[in-house]
Amino acid sequence: MSDIWRQISAIASEQYGVVSLEQLLSVGFTRRMVEVAVPSGRLRRLHRGVFAVGHIPRDPRAPRLAATLAISAGAWVSNRSCAEHYRVLRKRSGPVHVTTPGSGGRRERSGIVVHRARLAEDERTTFEGVPCTTMSRTLLDLSAERPGELEKAIKAAGDRELLRVGECLALMERYRGRPGSPLLRRLLVGEEPLPDFTRSGLERRMYRLCRDAGLPVPDMTVDIPGVADMHECDCAWPRHRLIIECDSKWHDNPISAVDDAKKAQDLTLAGWRVERLRWAQIVLEPELCARTVAHLLAEQTRLMATAA
């Protein structure tokens, strides 16, 4: 293998197997060499100016990155394609949606749907090596174009710790009157702005809170069988049959509230006591929270001794 093929293969290995014409030229290819490599199968044309090296990649991220490379003005995967990229909606066949700077609606080219919008810096990012809109901007776009899938996307974003309610509210304020915003607001937290605590961050605080108070430390993020299903629980004390769930911001939307209630019911039927502590209790009132946990542990110890 010649040096330029080694170089372009190295670039492709970092880009899910795809490269742009500009990248090929930058390592020493000529346009004639590219023209010869396509019929031979060493390069496979995906879009004008974008190629797969050696074979058509199977990774679903490859066509998304290829779509951004195909738009010379710069592009970010967006809309439903971005929801698929974040894995908050299932992948469907069809063109990749991207957003490019400008205005004037959308247009289609082979395998790509191009939306035009002026994305602020805090509305775009790179996720798993692919330029894309932020999760918050993606939900805003979905609320207008895919309202029927918005609930599912919000719940999945919460489960994957990608949901930022404060960012969503700020975007709705920035784009007042945008179609879909009332639905998005209703499915999130109404009018209440909430601080940006992640689930894992609250769990760590809860663990330290118990340790520092001299309480038995819980098993963290543990799978516990209910009567009907297996459930992932934030904090559990198996000897005391006590579970405490740490409610961060995405538990303030009605979608998660229904799931939380069903989960607690199933675990209660399996003989567990399930309690919830909100972020404000854990973060703002740690001493009171520690006393609450101590009381619950003592009460469970007494109840189990009585039952025995």
pLDDT per position as a tens digit, 16-48:
999 999 999 998 999 999 989 899 889 999 999
The answer to whether position 194 is within a domain reads no
Domain assignment present for 252? yes
Q: For the domain that residue 254 is a member of, what is the CATH number?
A: 3.40.960.10
Asked whether residue 48 falls in the same domain as residue 65, the answer is no
Reading the block at residue 225, the tokens are 């069988």
Instruction: Determine, yes or no, domain membership for 193.
Output: no
Residues 105 and 180 in one domain: yes
* 278, 299: one domain: yes
Q: What is the mean pLDDT of residues 4-12?
A: 91
Cα-to-chain-centroid distance, residue 96: 18
Are 172 and 288 found together in one domain?
Answer: no
How far is Cα 300 from Cα 273, in angstroms, rounded to an integer?
8
Number of domains forming the structure of the chain: 3
Q: What is the pLDDT of residues 82-130, one digit of tens each?
A: 999 999 999 998 999 999 997 766 677 788 999 999 999 999 999 999 9
101 and 145 together in one domain: yes
Which of 165, 187, 209 marks a domain boundary? Answer: 187
Domain boundary among 153, 187, 221: 187
Tell me the backbone φ, ψ of residue 23, rounded to 5 degrees: -70, -40
pLDDT at 56: 87
Residue 152 lies in a domain: yes
Same domain membership, residue 141 and residue 225: no
Pairing verdict, β 112-116 and 96-100? parallel
Q: Which two tokens stand for residue 234?
A: 């934030």
Residue 288 CA to residue 303 CA, distance in Å, equals 22
Using the 3D structure, point to which of 131, 156, 187 is the last residue of a domain.
187
Mean pLDDT of 271-287: 85
Domain enclosing residue 32, as ranges: 3-53
Is the pLDDT at 241 greater than 50? The verdict is yes
Q: Residue 39 has which token pair?
A: 């019929």
184's tokens: 């998005």
Shared-domain flag, residues 214 and 296: yes
Length of the chain: 308
